[in-house]
Structure 1
Amino acid sequence: MKYLVLVSHGGFADGLKTSLAMFAGDQINRVFALGLEPGTSADTFKEKVNHFFDEHDFSNDDQFFVLADIVGGSPLTTFTSVLSERGFLANSQIFGGTNLTMALTTLVSMDAMDKATLSSTILSEAGNALEEFKVAAPEDDDDEI
C-alpha cells in the first residue's frame, strides 16, 4: 500500500490534510498528518512518530510519500530518522516545501506512476503552482466630457 504522510511545524500538516479531504474522497484514509506543536521538543515529537508507526499495521512492502513544510526542519529530520530506524527509508520518497498542489498531485498519482516519474511530476506541479496572482484594476466608468 502507498501512503502520503504530511509532516510540519504546528498545524500546517493537519490543515493541508483537511484541504486535501475536499478533493480526495476515500483516498484521504491513506493520508496522515503529523505536526510538531509549539513548545514540544524533538524528542517528544519522535515519541509521537513512533506511536504513529506502532498504531498502524504497516508492512515491509508499504511505501511512504513524505511531504514536509521545510527541508532540514526538526519535524522532517525526526520523521526521517524514525523511517530509517524502522526500515522504511528505502521505501520512501521525501520532499520539502509542500504546497496543496504538490500534496494533491502526490495523492492522486501515487498509484499510477513509478517513483521516478512521480517525483518529477510532483516537483513540476509544485513549481507550476507558484505564480503571482494579479487582479486587473477596474476601468474608470466615469464618462469624460
Structure 2
Amino acid sequence: MTIYKDRLTARHEIRIRDQQYERDRLADRDAFQRESILSLQTAVSDVIKAAYDELDRLLAEFQESGSWPARQWETPTAKGWSEAVLQLQLSAARVLNEGLRELAQEIQRAAGDAIWATDLATARRHCDRIEPLHVRFNDTANRIFASLF
C-alpha cells in the first residue's frame, strides 16, 4: 500500500511540475510576443515617419520647381528610411501572427510606393493607403495583445 501511495504521489508531482512548466513556457511566449509586437509597432511608425518626411521634402521641391522630383536609383536614400525598413523586417520576423506581419509589409510597400512615385497624383494615391493600413495594423495588434494577457 505504501509503494502504491508513493507511486501515485510521484505521478501527481510529475503532472503538477509538467503543468507548471507549460504555464511558464506559455507566459514566456506571451511576454516575448508582447515585446515583439511593441517593437514592430515602433518600426512601422518609423517607416511611416521616414516616408512622410521624404514626401514633405519632395513636396517642397515640387513647390519650388513646379515639377515632381521622381526618385531614381541615384537619388539619395530618404532620411531614416533604410534603418526603419531594416528594423521593421527584423521586428516582423519575431512576430508569430502572420496577419500582423502582412499588414506591416503592406504599410512598408505603400510607403515605399509613395516615395518612389513618378508623379504627385500617384504619390498621393499610395500615401492615402498608409493611414487605413496603419489603423488596421493597430486594431489587429490590439486584438492580439488582448489574447496575450
TM-score, length of structure 2 as denominator length: 0.26
| TM-score (ref. length: structure 1) | 0.27
Larger Rg over CA atoms? 2
